[in-house]
Each structure stands twice: as C-alpha cells, then as structure tokens.
Amino acid sequence: MTALRYEARLALAIAAKDARAEMRGRQAVVSTLFFAAVVLLLFGFALGPDRARLAEAAPGLLWLALVFAGVLAVSRLHLIETDDGALEQLALYPVPRRAIYAGKALAGLAVMAVLGLVVLGAVAVLFGTSIGSAIVPLLATLMLGVVGIAAVGTFYAGLTVRLRAREVMLPLLMLPILAPLLLGAVKATAAALAGDPFGELGAWLQLLVAFDVIMLTAGLATYGYLLEDG
C-alpha cells in the first residue's frame, strides 16, 4: 500500500472512530445544533422584528451562528480524547501526525456540514430569505466555509485541549483567524442570494478556497508539534 493510501486509511479510521464515539456518547451534534438554533433565535430578538432588516442581515447571522457553533463542535470532538488518557495513547501510535490531523478534521467537517445544512434551512425560515435558484452557489459557499472552520478549529482544539482555561482560549485563538473566512463567506452568501449582481461571487469563493488550502496546509504541517510532550 502506498504511503498516501496508508495515511488516508488511517485518517478515515480516526474519523470513523470519532463519528462512532460521537453518535453514541456525547450527542455533540445534537447539542451543537440546538445551540445554533438558540443563537439564531436570539439574533431574531436582538435585530427583529423588521423582516427586511433581518433578511438583509441573514447571511451574516448564518455564518456567525455557524462559527460560534463550530467552536463548540470542534471542542467536543477533541474532548473524546480526554477519555482516560486517549490522546496520549493516540500520540504514541507509530502513525504520521498528518493523518491524525486529517482524520480529526474530517470528522469535524462531517459535523460542520450537517450543522451548516440545518442552519441554512433555519435561517431561510426564520429570516425570510428565499433560496430558490441560488441553491448551487449557496451549497458551494457552505462547503468551502465549513471546511475552513473545521481546518482551523481542529488545529486549535488540539492545542487547547490540554490547556488550562481551554473554554475561553479556544474561541479567543480561533475567532480572529476566522475573520477573513467569515467576511468571504458572508459576502459570497449575500451575493449568491441576490443573484450575483456585481459578479463578485467568484472572487469571494476564490478567497475561501485560498483560505482553506492555506489553513489545511498549516494544520497538516504543525499538528504533530501539538501532540508531543503531553
């Protein structure tokens, strides 16, 4: 088996393990979904009831909810590893660190993708945005955005899982990094919903792609350093 196939197999095994443990145990997906729903509800109270204003703010609210819920989701996925010292054991296996990062990021992506679809639907309902023909660019934006959140989040969750005050350090470290992703995703979403009147959608999507590629590379390269010296 070539090295790449081997690493891919490892990453899939890790992602599968995370998915399985998550589904049986902590119900992270469900509780994170509810959190996102509550956030949207509060947005409605804070900015409503003017439907026009809510509809205009909808792309921003969508991505804010996803980013905040995303912090929770990636945090939960790394909490699996605090079961009886599982992270230390994971670090001792003779496997490339890249594969561990890839596996955990993949699991994070799966959770975020589910989250994204649900939140998109909720926003459409709550804030009166009509999706209609914009479904393809919207889904593309959604996927690119959640890849970025998963890539950055997995990395910082791994960093903070063994840290004191990790509940506040994770968002504090993660959120400033996500600023350009947030900007790009919101702009792309708004453009897609409006039918891309200025032709800017392509540029914003490119920004998202660049962000994702850069952050995934950084994560793959440096996750190993996080695992050492427990």
Partner 1 sequence: MKTRILGWVAFVAVAVMALVALFLVPADLNQGDAQRIMYPHVASAWLAYLSFGVTALAGIGWLWRRDIRFDSVALSGAEIGVMFTAFAIWGGMMWGRPVWGVFWQWEDPRLTTTAVLLALYAGYLLLRRLTDDPERRATRAAIVGIVAAVDIPIVHFSVEWWRGLHQTATIGSPDKILNPAAPVPFVLTLVGMVLAFTLTWTYLMIRRYQLAQADLGREESARVERIMEARAAEATR
Partner 2 sequence: MPRTTIYVSPRSLGSHDQRPPAVVTTDLARLFAGRPALAGVSLTVEPGRAIALLGPNGAGKTTLLRILSTALRPSYGSGQVDGLDLGRDVDAIRPRIAYLSHATGLYDDLTARENLAFAATMLATPDAEVRVDRALEDVGLIGRRRDLVRTFSAGMRKRLALARILLGEASLVLLDEPMAALDDEAMSLVQQLLGAWREVGVTVLVAAHSIERLESHLDGRVIMERGLVTAVAGNGVTSHAPAPLVAGHPLTVTR
Nearest 5 degrees, angle CA 101-CA 104-CA 105? Answer: 80
Single residue of 47, 95, 126, 183 touching partner 2 by CB under 8 A? 95
Q: Does 159 bind partner 1 (CB under 8 A)?
A: yes
User: Which of the stretches 47-55, 101-109, 130-138, 161-169 binds partner 1 when contact is defined by CB under 8 A?
Assistant: 161-169
The residues in 11-30 that bind partner 2, with binding defined as CB under 8 A, are 13, 17, 20-22, 24-26
- Asked if omega into 49 is within 30° of 0 (cis), the reply is yes
CA pair distance 121, 19, nearest whole angstrom: 23
Q: Does 226 bind partner 1 (CB under 8 A)?
A: yes
Q: Does 88 bind partner 2 (CB under 8 A)?
A: yes
List residues near partner 2 by CB under 8 A: 9-10, 13, 17, 20-22, 24-26, 80, 83-86, 88-95, 228-230
Residues that bind partner 1 (CB under 8 A): 155, 159, 163-165, 169, 172-173, 175-177, 179-180, 183-184, 187, 198, 200, 203-204, 207, 210-211, 214-215, 218, 222, 225-226, 228-229
